[in-house]
Amino acid sequence: MRDREYREMELRLPFESQAEEKRYTVEGYASTFEPYVLFEQDGVKYSERIEPTAFDDADMADVVFRIDHEGAVYARTSAGTVNLWVDEHGLGQRTDLSKTQRAREIFSEIEAGNYPKMSFAFRVADDGDEYDKETHTRIIKRIAKVFDVSPVSFPANPTTELSVSTRDYFNGVIETEKAERLEREKREIQKKKIKILLEM
């Protein structure tokens, strides 16, 4: 869907001693609060930062765990098998994949290294972001909803695979910045012309 955005995150298996009974758990951070570069264009790095308060009013009542953001659901918050929390580092998730045979098979795929990264899908609230022109950074202040956390076959390359919603946002920003730059250049040319005429 056009209003959904996707961001890559780390996926790991909690350490287990061999003496412990096998636990089918994966965990990681869906988001951190550190700025990250989304892509670079014409020598300008465009970044994003999620504010620590962005998740305060986010709807996370029924976040699902599935593969590549589509298909079967293997766990979900409403079933108590996906646990989400917010701390000083970001939005964390811990998922229990022990409840069904299919979920345990997905755990085995993750354990084998076939899904080394995760992505999470979310929607920014209306007027929930702003743009810092000085640092070329989009600041996400309010997230309306988190839809899913998903191990992904091929982690997104932000330079080529930004979601449509994100790309549309930054395309608008880039066009505005270009228009402002052209206008400044026009004014500078006009000033130089006036200066030359006055010196004649």
- Number of residues in the chain: 200
Q: Which of 8-17, 35-44, 113-122, 123-132 has the highest mean pLDDT?
A: 123-132
- Whether residue 162 is predicted with pLDDT greater than 90 in this model: the reply is no
Mean pLDDT of the chain: 84
Residue type, 64: V
E strand residue ranges, 12-142 = 25-32, 36-41, 44-50, 64-67, 70-76, 82-86, 90-96, 117-124, 129-132, 137-140
How far apart, in whole angstroms, are the C-alpha atoms of residue 165 and residue 152? 19
Q: CB–CB of 120/31 below 8 Å?
A: yes
pLDDT in the model for residue 5: 86
Residue-wise pLDDT for 81-115, tens only, equals: 999 999 998 898 999 999 999 999 999 999 898 88
Please state, in angstroms and as integers, the Cα–Cα distance from residue 172 to each residue in 22, 119, 134, 154, 175, following that order.
49, 24, 16, 27, 5
Give 3-state DSSP helix, strand, coil % of the chain, rounded to 5.
25, 40, 35
pLDDT over threshold 70, residue 15: no
For position 200, what pLDDT does the model report? Answer: 65
Q: What is the pLDDT of residue 16?
A: 55
Tell which phi-psi region holds residue 123, choosing left (phi > 0), alpha (psi between -120 and 50) or beta: beta
pLDDT in tens, 30-63: 888 988 888 888 888 999 999 999 999 999 999 9
Where do the DSSP E strands lie in 110-184? 117-124, 129-132, 137-140, 143-152
Separation of alpha carbons 136 and 41, rounded Å? 11
Asked whether residue 146 carries a pLDDT value surpassing 50, the answer given is: yes
H/E element, 116 = none
pTM flag (> 0.85): no
Assign 12 a pLDDT band (cuts: 50, 70, 90): confident
Q: What confidence tens digit (pLDDT) does each residue in 66-87 have?
A: 998 889 999 999 999 999 999 9
Considering only residues 199 and 119, tell me which one the structure prediction assigns the higher pLDDT. Answer: 119
pLDDT higher than 80, residue 164? no
Answer whether 90's CB lies under 8 Å from 49's CB: no
CB 151 within 8 A of CB 107: no
- So what's the pLDDT on residue 160? 44
